[in-house]
Amino acid sequence: MTGVNAAVSVLIKDVKVTKEHRRLRRERKTVRAMVGLYCSHHHGTQGLCGDCSELASYADRRLDLCPYGSDKPSCAKCPIHCYRPDPREKMREIMRFSGPRMLIRHPWLAIMHLLDDRRAPPPLPSVKTRQTSDETPDTDRDKLAP
């Protein structure tokens, strides 16, 4: 019976992994495409150079940690700025360069990105889901204030 349980466990894990929301998968693909266009033009590489690969991995980590999850607004409309200043500026530069070229090279991703950009951002996730264990909730801070 343990073999069956292990097989079911593997199937459940596969379902969770493959069930990542289509929008987040598309967002990852769009970021990779934009970084790829920028890197091939500016750095003359076929794949991603080390710096661009690092930035794309950073973007993936930010998507993984986004408190909005599948309801994530586009980064331009997001009230939570999760990128550090240097990667944010580099990503802006990449998007300014790659955005117009995406319509020619990856039209579906570009159109879907533009449509995602028109969506209104959802309300902020609750403070309890965002705060770390050492932070005091906002409501308690208000009680402490004179």
- Exposed / middle / buried, residue 83 (Cβ in 10 Å: 0-12, 13-18, 19+): middle
DSSP string of 25-58? HHHHHHHHHHHHHHHHHHT--SS--HHHHHHHHH
Q: What is the pLDDT of residue 128?
A: 55
Q: What is the pLDDT of residue 134?
A: 42
Q: What is the pLDDT of residue 26?
A: 93
The pTM (predicted TM-score) of the whole model is 0.71
Cα distances (angstroms) measured from residue 92 to each of 14, 99, 129: 34, 10, 28
Domain locations in the chain? 22-122
Q: What is the pLDDT of residue 123?
A: 86
Structure-token match 């550090």, residue found: 84
pLDDT tens-digit profile, the chain (146 residues): 455 555 444 444 444 444 568 889 999 999 999 999 999 999 988 889 999 999 999 999 999 998 888 888 888 888 888 899 999 999 999 999 999 999 999 999 999 999 988 888 888 877 654 444 344 444 444 444 44
Output the furthest CA–CA distance in the chain (Å, rounded).
Answer: 62
